[in-house]
Amino acid sequence: MKRYNSGMAGQTQDGGRPAAPERPADALHETVEEVTAAVMTASRLFVALSARALAETEPTLTLPQLRTLVVLHGEGPVKLAALAAALDVNPSTAMRMVDKLAARGLVDRQTNPGNRREVILRLRPDGGRLVEEVLAHRHDEIRAVVARVPADRRAELVRGLRALTEAAGEPPADSLTGAP
């Protein structure tokens, strides 16, 4: 049987090791590192769910390509520079991604009639359908995981996730697809 102390120095558990000080049972007292570790674990889960949704919907598309399509889906027609900024990549990297997606018929490139040096990028209908299918599949996967969270813990989860996304400046997601 383990013996725990009340946090006083010098007391030990069985085996002579110093006992850990008692921690508050309230989850509000988690340290930044504990919360960071939990968020990192959840992040791995969400990436895995996204990858699985993509693999089951369109296995030849990569996650960065899907991210590009999702940005175009959410932003509408955009200039190359705006897409690159949204993806946090340089314009040449964004253009290479667009070239691959355009070759598949998912994205359309057009010269801006107001400034011939600019390229306007649009999601083509097949690209829009693909994004909606992947997001719907991801939504279903996340919903299945959330359904396994005990009902009395879900409000706590919503509050925590909203606090995290607000702290990051992330806009609220569409409640049906999870798309920004």
Three-class SS state of 14: coil
At residue 118, φ and ψ (nearest 5 deg) are -100, 145
- Give the CATH number of domain 52-168: 1.10.10.10
CA–CA dist 36, 33 (Å, integer): 5
Say whether pLDDT at 88 is over 70: yes
Tokens 């993509």 correspond to 54
Say whether pLDDT at 41 is over 70: yes
Domain positions in the chain are: 52-168
At residue 78, φ and ψ (nearest 5 deg) are -140, 160
Three-class SS state of 180: coil
Least confident segment among 6-20, 46-60, 78-92, 138-152: 6-20
Q: Answer with the residue of higher pLDDT: 15 or 48.
A: 48
DSSP β-bridge partners for residue 111: 119
Say whether pLDDT at 26 is over 80: no
CA–CA dist 141, 178 (Å, integer): 12
Cβ 180 vs Cβ 69: under 8 Å: no
User: pLDDT of 107-158, one tens digit each?
Assistant: 999 888 888 888 899 999 999 999 999 999 999 999 999 999 999 999 999 9
Mean pLDDT over the full length of the chain: 83
Q: What is the pLDDT of residue 143?
A: 95
At residue 121, φ and ψ (nearest 5 deg) are -110, 135
Q: What is the pLDDT of residue 28?
A: 54
Q: What is the pLDDT of residue 13?
A: 46
User: pLDDT of 101-113, one tens digit each?
Assistant: 999 999 999 888 8
Of 132, 143, 145, give the one whose Cα is nearest residue 57.
132
Percent of the chain with pLDDT over 70: 80
